[in-house]
């Protein structure tokens, strides 16, 4: 264990992790307890085994002689209760699971570093932003919202984007999503929202899906959700990779500078790889081909040294500007358009280390929006205010103790000292009798403990808000929160034609799964306030008579469309971070394959060889091993595909459903298909027609891995 520390400094992460590593934490015995001449240090090193392996012991240090057979009364007799090895092993195993998160149960985490790239002391006294180059470690957890911990990675769902920054002035948790707005305006509705979206209470399904009756029933009755619904039905909720999605703090927060001046701030994480999403058909197929698609993608990218990066951007505005807007900046169902307040980049985050242990780190990490540091403060957003309570509370039920902050992944990396004591699973051993304050123990030469620091400690910002009368207690929603449609319209009208079609199809799909017709109709009646064309398309898709327009609490206004809201307008035409599937078979030209692999790697992409068999295959110029077998490596797993085949092999594969589907899907998902002459028969069988994205192998590098949306009308009915 880390040495007990009277100052109660947090154990550093390294120390704390070491404390559970076999061989650490031995008491300093020098006597021999093992084989002749063997000391504790030898035992720790596993001296006995001669191969560096440690001795297997129980949790109290007793060595096991046999880990295969329990202790029994006779060769064929019952097992003895006396077997303390067996009892402890089974006892511990029985209690391995902890309650999963009520939302965001399915998540993937990684370590990294954040660095300030632009000092902004005039805006905030937060130490991390005081000087360019200031840096701190971070831990990030990406998640889906609705599904359980073992659910698939690619349902249509919002993604959590939670960042813990271990700064020198304490942990700052920016617990955001990949969508900048939320379904509801007030925390009091959160339990209802979550009950409605999770599997239905009586039947226990569907898992990880919004496409069901109770979700849409709640949504139809909650017009404030309409803006979020536009985002949720867009391709934002089916990201290609965590590495290619934006993150948002969602709420307006406050920056406070050394003079005590406050300004509103909205936080944005912008992925260096640009934005990219899958298509719905692709996401559904990925769920079968690789349920861990996004988790694997993150892990493999970091393991390969392709570290994902995001720029941290801020939008800054003051009370005066906020008061002039047609929406309330305290309303989490609204964005502040980037065209009105541009995003300034102030830092960069790099994820450069995978977790060592999923449970200890990704599962036990506890994010608290209430973790802010001096220079960053909350606002009166009623959703944020509710979150400030909920997250602390939930950690007690998940992690079982108020001492969850001592778990290495949660502990700050700066010292912490206070008079909080005891509680379950207390691992610190404070010394002395100063566990209260004030005390005068110092006058007798005793350790008196820490004191508050008025100069550098956290002080809450007092907003000068003329629109608020704190002397009244009211259960109301501020007037400006009433416009539920203008920004939903802004979002829809900022999308490309293809993206608008995706939103319409997503709504048709989701509502088609709703069993109650009046629920479908109510949602469509609300869509009419957003965009008549959208409402008509959805009604048509459901074979529903267009219902009357729902009355709006406030008539929507037209806002200026913004390119920042579209994914397709923010894709970077780069191969970096993308994966290309290369299909080959017996007799394929190894030199051509090597050449193509080299080109992909040079452009920052990852080639992945696919063949009918994974073991060595005889090719022209030697033998070649595949990374994946054809049936297990469908083209949905790649950003683009290429094939280098001899005509006889292509003919053989044309009779194999997996091969034909490989090209059919790549084509239907608007991906680049690079091929050699020999593949022709297979392409014909898959109905692949020539276009700008179907190119000879030699042209692959110039076309790259971007999608060819112009092809879409040929492969989908976009009505």
List interacting residues with ligand HDE (CB under 6 A): 101-104, 107, 141, 143, 160, 162, 175-177, 182, 187, 190, 250, 332, 365-367, 383, 386-387, 390-391, 394
537 is in an annotated binding site: no
Give the distance, in angstroms, between the CA of residue 708 and the centroid of all CA atoms in the same chain: 27
Closest separation in Å from C-beta 365 to ligand HDE: 6
CA distances from 719 to 77, 89, 437, 664 (A): 72, 60, 70, 21
Verify whether residue 134 is a known catalytic residue: no
Q: Toward ligand HDE, which CB reaches closer, 398 or 620?
A: 398
Helices H, strands E: what count in the chain? 20, 18
Burial class (CB in 10 A: 0-12, 13-18, 19+), 157: buried
Residue 492 annotated as binding site:
no
Task: Find out whether 72 is annotated in a ligand binding site.
Answer: no
DSSP 346: E
What is the nearest approach in angstroms of ligand HDE to the Cβ of residue 301? 19
In this complex, which beta carbon is closest to ligand HDE, that of residue 144 or of residue 606? 144
> For residue 553, with 0-12 CB atoms within 10 Å meaning exposed, 13-18 middle and 19 or more buried, which class applies?
middle
CB of 103 to ligand HDE, least distance (A): 5
Which CB sits closer to ligand HDE, 333 or 672? 333
From the CB of 686, what's the least distance to ligand HDE, in Å? 40
Q: Closest distance between ligand HDE and the C-beta of residue 269, in Å?
A: 12
Tell me: cis bond preceding 635? Omega within 30 of 0 counts.
Answer: no
Q: How many Å apart are CA 500 and CA 498, to the nearest integer?
A: 5
In the complex with ligand HDE, the residue whose CB is nearer, 181 or 640, is 181
Q: Taking Cα atoms as reference points, which of 143, 442, 485, 458 lies closest to residue 295?
A: 143
| Least spacing, CB of residue 566 vs ligand HDE, in Å | 21
**Residues 110, 143 contacting (CB under 8 angstroms):** no
Is the CB of 182 or the CB of 662 nearer to ligand HDE? 182
595 is in an annotated binding site: no
Q: Which is nearer to ligand HDE, 362 or 498 (CB)?
A: 362
| Cα end-to-end span (Å), the chain | 65
Rounded to a whole number of angstroms, the minimum distance from the CB of residue 386 to ligand HDE is 4
Catalytic residue among 40, 134, 171, 177: 177
Q: Which of 199, 183, 106, 173 is nearest to 391 (CA)?
A: 173
Cβ closest to ligand HDE, residue 185 vs residue 635: 185
In the complex, minimum distance from the CB of residue 246 to ligand HDE, in angstroms, rounded to a whole number: 13
Strand 694-696 to 262-271 pairing: unpaired
The DSSP code sequence of 273-285 is: T---B--HHHHHH
One DSSP character per residue, 558-598 reads -----GGG-SGGG-----TT-EEEEEE-TT-BHHHHHHHHH
141 annotated as belonging to a binding site for a ligand: yes
Instruction: Check the annotation: does 716 bind a ligand.
Output: no
**Which of these, 513, 441, 473, 433, lies nearest to 210 by C-alpha position?**
513
Pick the catalytic residue: 8, 104, 251, 675?
A: 104
Q: Do 630 and 611 touch, CB atoms closer than 8 A?
A: yes
Query: For ligand HDE, which residue has the nearest CB?
Result: 160
CB within 8 Å of 690: residues ≥ 6 apart: none
**In 3-state terms, what secondary structure has residue 176?**
strand
Q: Please say if 177 is a catalytic residue.
A: yes
As a whole number of angstroms, the distance between CA 1 and CA 638 comes to 46
3-state secondary structure of 255: strand
Asked if the peptide bond before residue 441 counts as cis, ω within 30 degrees of 0, the response is no
**Least distance in Å: CB of 145 to ligand HDE?**
8
Select 354 or 649, whichever has its Cβ closest to ligand HDE.
Answer: 354
Q: Are 607 and 597 in contact (CB under 8 A)?
A: yes
- Kindly tell me which of 395 and 679 has the beta carbon lying closer to ligand HDE: 395
Give the burial string for 287-318 (b: 16+ CB within 10 Å, else e): bebbeebbbebbbebbeeebbbbbbbbbbbbe
Task: Report the SS3 class of residue 456.
Answer: coil
Tokens of 370: 């209430």
User: Cis omega before residue 305 (within 30°)?
Assistant: no
CA-CA distance, 46 to 661, in Å (whole number)?
53
Shorter beta-carbon distance to ligand HDE: residue 386 or 628: 386
CB of 387 vs ligand HDE, minimal distance in Å: 5
Angle 50-56-61 from CA coordinates, rounded to 5°:
120
Cite the annotated binding site by residue number: 101, 141, 190, 387, 391, 398
Q: Which residues are catalytic?
A: 104, 177
Cite the annotated binding site for heme by residue number: 101, 141, 190, 387, 391, 398
């Amino acid at each position: 264990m880390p040495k007990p520390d009277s100052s109660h400094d947090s154990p550093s992460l390294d120390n704390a992790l070491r404390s559970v590593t076999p061989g650490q934490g031995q008491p300093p015995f020098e006597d021999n307890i093992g084989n002749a001449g063997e000391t504790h240090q030898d035992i720790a090193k596993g001296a006995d085994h001669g191969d560096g392996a440690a001795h297997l012991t129980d949790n109290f240090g007793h060595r096991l002689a046999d880990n295969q057979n329990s202790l029994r009364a006779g060769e064929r007799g019952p097992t003895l209760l006396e077997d303390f090895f067996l009892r402890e092993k089974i006892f511990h195993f029985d209690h391995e699971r902890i309650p999963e998160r009520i939302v965001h149960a399915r998540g993937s985490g990684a370590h990294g570093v954040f660095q300030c790239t632009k000092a902004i002391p005039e805006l905030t006294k937060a130490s991390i932003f005081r000087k360019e180059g200031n840096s701190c470690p971070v831990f990030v957890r990406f998640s889906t919202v609705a599904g359980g911990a073992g659910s698939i990675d690619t349902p249509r769902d919002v993604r959590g984007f939670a960042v813990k920054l271990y700064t020198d002035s304490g942990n700052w948790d920016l617990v955001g999503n990949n969508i900048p707005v939320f379904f509801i305006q007030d925390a009091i509705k959160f339990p209802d929202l979550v009950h409605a979206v999770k599997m239905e209470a009586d039947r226990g399904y569907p898992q990880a899906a919004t496409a069901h009756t109770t979700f849409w029933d709640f949504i139809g009755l909650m017009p404030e959700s309409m803006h979020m619904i536009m985002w949720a039905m867009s391709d934002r909720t089916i990201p290609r990779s965590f590495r290619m999605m934006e993150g948002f703090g969602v709420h307006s927060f406050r920056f406070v500078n050394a003079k005590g001046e406050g300004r509103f701030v909205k936080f944005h994480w912008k992925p260096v790889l640009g934005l990219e999403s899958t298509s719905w058909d692709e996401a559904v197929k990925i769920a079968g081909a690789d349920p861990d698609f996004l988790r694997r993608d993150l892990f493999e990218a970091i393991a390969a040294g392709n570290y994902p990066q995001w720029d941290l951007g801020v939008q800054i505005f003051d009370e005066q500007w906020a008061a002039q807007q047609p929406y309330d900046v305290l309303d989490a169902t609204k964005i502040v358009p980037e065209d009105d307040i541009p995003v300034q980049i102030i830092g960069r985050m790099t994820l450069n280390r995978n977790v060592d242990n999923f449970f200890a780190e990704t599962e036990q990490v506890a994010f608290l929006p209430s973790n802010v540091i001096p220079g960053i403060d909350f606002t009166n957003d009623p959703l944020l205010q509710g979150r400030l309570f909920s997250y602390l509370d939930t950690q007690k039920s998940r992690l079982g103790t108020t001492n969850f902050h001592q778990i290495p992944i949660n502990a700050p990396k700066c010292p912490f000292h206070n008079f909080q004591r005891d509680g379950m699973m207390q691992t610190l051993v404070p010394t002395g009798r100063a566990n209260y304050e004030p005390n005068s123990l110092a006058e007798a030469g005793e350790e008196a403990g820490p004191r508050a620091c008025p100069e550098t400690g956290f002080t809450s910002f007092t907003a000068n808000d003329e629109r608020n009368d704190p002397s009244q207690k009211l259960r109301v929603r501020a007037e400006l929160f009433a416009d539920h449609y203008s920004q939903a319209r802004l979002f829809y009208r900022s999308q490309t034609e293809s993206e608008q079609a995706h939103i319409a199809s997503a709504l048709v799909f989701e509502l088609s799964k709703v069993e109650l017709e009046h629920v479908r109709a109510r949602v469509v009646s609300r869509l009419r306030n957003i965009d008549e064309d959208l409402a008509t398309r959805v009604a048509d898709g459901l074979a529903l008579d267009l219902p009357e327009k729902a009355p709006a609490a406030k008539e929507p206004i037209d806002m200026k469309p913004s390119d920042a809201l579209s994914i397709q307008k923010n894709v970077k035409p780069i191969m970096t971070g993308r994966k290309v599937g290369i299909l080959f078979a017996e007799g394929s030209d190894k030199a051509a394959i090597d050449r193509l692999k080299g080109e992909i790697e040079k452009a920052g992409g990852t080639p992945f060889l696919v063949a009918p068999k994974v073991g060595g295959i005889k090719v022209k110029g030697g033998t070649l091993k595949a990374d994946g077998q054809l049936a297990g490596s469908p083209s949905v797993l790649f950003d683009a595909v290429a094939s280098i085949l001899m005509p006889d092999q292509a003919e053989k594969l044309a009779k194999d459903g997996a091969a034909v589907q490989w090209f059919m899907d790549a084509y239907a998902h608007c991906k680049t298909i690079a091929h050699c002459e020999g593949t022709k028969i297979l392409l014909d069988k898959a109905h692949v027609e020539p276009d700008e994205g179907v190119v000879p192998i030699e042209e692959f590098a110039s076309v790259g891995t971007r999608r060819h949306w112009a092809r879409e009308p040929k492969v989908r009915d976009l009505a």
